[in-house]
Amino acid sequence: MSKRYDLIVFDWDGTVMDSTAIIAGSIQSACRDLGLTVPSDETARHVIGLGLSQALRHAVPDAPEAMYEPLVARYRHHFLAQDQAIPLFEGARETIAELHEAGYSLGVATGKNCAGLARALESSGLKRYFHATRTAEQTFSKPHPAMLFELMEELAVSSDRTLMVGDTSHDVLLAQNAGVDVVAVAFGAHPADQLLALKPLALMEDFAQLRAWFKENA
Q: Please check whether residues 49 and 116 belong to one and the same domain.
A: no
Classify 134 as helix, strand or coil: strand
| Separation of alpha carbons 15 and 175, rounded Å | 15
Segment 110-123 shows an average pLDDT of 94
| Separation of alpha carbons 54 and 104, rounded Å | 32
Q: Please check whether residues 25 and 15 belong to one and the same domain.
A: no
Segment 117-139 shows an average pLDDT of 96
pLDDT of 162 over the 70 cut: yes
Q: Please check whether residues 120 and 179 belong to one and the same domain.
A: yes
Residue 176, Cβ neighbours under 10 Å: how many? 17
Mean pLDDT of all residues in the chain? Answer: 96
Q: Please check whether residues 68 and 94 belong to one and the same domain.
A: no
pLDDT of 2 over the 80 cut: no
Q: Does the pTM of the predicted model rise above 0.85?
A: yes
Is residue 2 in a domain? no
pLDDT > 70 fraction of the chain, expressed in percent and rounded: 100
Q: Please check whether residues 62 and 103 belong to one and the same domain.
A: no
CB 177 within 8 A of CB 147: no
Q: In terms of residue numbers, what domain contains 78?
A: 20-84
Q: Please check whether residues 12 and 26 belong to one and the same domain.
A: no
Catalytic residue ranges: 11, 13
Segment 85-92 shows an average pLDDT of 95
Q: What is the CATH number of the domain that holds 105?
A: 3.40.50.1000
Number of domains in the chain: 2
Which residues are within 8 A (CB) of 175 and not within 5 positions of it... i.e. 6 or more apart? 148, 164, 166, 181, 182, 200
Q: Please check whether residues 94 and 184 belong to one and the same domain.
A: yes
Is residue 52 in a domain? yes
Q: Please check whether residues 155 and 213 belong to one and the same domain.
A: yes
Q: What is the CATH number of the domain that holds 80?
A: 1.10.150
Segment 57-77 shows an average pLDDT of 94
Prior bond to 143 cis, omega within 30? yes
Q: Please check whether residues 57 and 159 belong to one and the same domain.
A: no
